[in-house]
Amino acid sequence: MDDLLASADASVKQLTVGEIITGTVLSLRKHEVLIDLGAQGVGFVPRREVGFSRALNEGDEVTASVVDPELDNGYSLLSLRKAAKDRGWEEVAVKQETGEIIDVSPYDANRGGMLVEYEGVRGFLPVSQLSAEHYPRVGSSDKDEILQRLNSLIGKELKVRILDSDRKANKLIFSEKEAVKDGLAKRFESLKIGDTVKGVVTGVVDYGAFVNVDGIEGLIHISEISWERVSNPGDYVKVGETVDAKIISIDKDRLSLSIKQLTQDPWLDEVDKFKTGEEVEGTVTRITPFGAFVQISPAVEALVHVSELGEGDNADPEKVFMLNERKKFVILDIEKESRKISLSLSKKK
């Protein structure tokens, strides 16, 4: 009988630290979970992992990692979380090697990006790796709005690829840009300069507006928003608004767009109302060292060069003009091709 018991004990493999084992949930208590390990005894999952395991039911099969093979009470100390993480790193290695696109849902955000957990492994999705659809295009100084935009992505399913991982350093980096680049390449091939496209405004900044065109990022420069002189792009377009625009340039990963080129230049219509030598009245809109710009119609702005102020090139435009002042001028020259009109001060009293 002693020999039989000895041989039975020898056939039972002893547990080792870090070993991954499978067992059945024996009981669920408020502060612990007991796991039936068969001939290898009973495993104990401590209080700190109860929350992690609250979806368990008695009889469920689970996989755990051995933390301590034998406690004083005869149980083995197990970790469900560590086992899940170990399996997760194995899955990460496979997905990174194959470049497979995976679905993740961020659980938190900071100004640098999104916090993501994949198969029990926590990782990071940097702002710089978000797609054009989700990248927070806001003024560089508006950090609160950046965080607000990122917070709106919490819990949202995103398609990503694993950009980098290091199990020893516990580093896992995701990229949404990498996940969508293949599809973007095909969309780029279908576009050409001169096409009219529809997109959603994703950001308004001092120098223009960013637009999401079917996942491709487009920029409408401030000079291409309107035929009028635009001081604030936000007066013309709003985030979330759908706009039509013309493709005027295609770069490696971005479109250059124009709203104004979808309409006739009103300058060309209004300039025909003026003739060389004619006296006109206009409003001073800008004063520079080389002269002053004058609005002589809603779409036509002309220049009074410093040399036309009667004191040669040494004249000081700021002493002659005031912003928003209305004065009478004489048209010296009209150049339609270069869209320039030159004025001089009227000598009429």
Of the given ranges (50-59, 196-205, 311-320), which has the lowest mean pLDDT? 50-59
Reported confidence tier of residue 258, pLDDT bands at 50, 70, 90? very high
Nearest to 221 by CA among 193, 257, 252: 257
Who's near 82: CB < 8 A, 6+ residues apart? Answer: 65, 67
Reported confidence tier of residue 4, pLDDT bands at 50, 70, 90? very low
Reported confidence tier of residue 5, pLDDT bands at 50, 70, 90? very low
Average pLDDT of span 156-164: 95
**Cα separation of 135 and 312, whole Å?**
52
pLDDT on residue 100: 94
Task: Judge whether residue 79 has pLDDT over 90.
Answer: no
**Cα separation of 285 and 170, whole Å?**
59
> Domains (ranges, CATH) in the chain?
16-84 (2.40.50.140), 99-180 (2.40.50.140), 191-262 (2.40.50.140), 266-345 (2.40.50.140)
**Cα separation of 318 and 338, whole Å?**
26
Task: Judge whether residue 252 has pLDDT over 80.
Answer: no
Average pLDDT of span 318-322: 90
**Cα separation of 81 and 160, whole Å?**
24
**Mind listing the pLDDT tens digit for each residue in 8-60?**
454 567 888 878 888 888 888 877 888 899 888 988 888 777 655 557 788 88
Q: What single letter denotes the amino acid at residue 345?
A: L
Reported confidence tier of residue 245, pLDDT bands at 50, 70, 90? very high
Task: Judge whether residue 313 has pLDDT over 80.
Answer: no
**Cα separation of 310 and 306, whole Å?**
8
pLDDT on residue 316: 87
Q: How far apart are the first and last CA of the chain?
A: 130
Average pLDDT of span 196-221: 92
Q: 40 with 12: CB under 8 angstroms? A: yes
Give whole-number Cα distances, 91 to 121, 278, 342, in Å: 10, 78, 70
pLDDT on residue 189: 86
pLDDT on residue 8: 46
Task: Judge whether residue 294 has pLDDT over 90.
Answer: yes
Sheet strand arrangement including 121-126:
102-104, 158-166, 171-175, 121-126, 113-118, 108-110
Nearest to 22 by CA among 81, 66, 71, 55: 66
Q: 35 with 62: CB under 8 angstroms? A: yes
The CB-side HSE value for 314 (13 A sphere, CA atoms) comes to: 1
pTM for this entry: 0.63
| Residue 319 dihedral angles phi and psi, to the nearest 5° | -90, -15
Average pLDDT of span 105-131: 92
Average pLDDT of span 168-193: 90
Nearest to 332 by CA among 275, 272, 270: 275
Mean per-residue pLDDT over the chain, rounded: 87
**Angle made by CA atoms 140, 146, 148, in degrees to the nearest 5:** 155
Q: 26 with 58: CB under 8 angstroms? A: yes
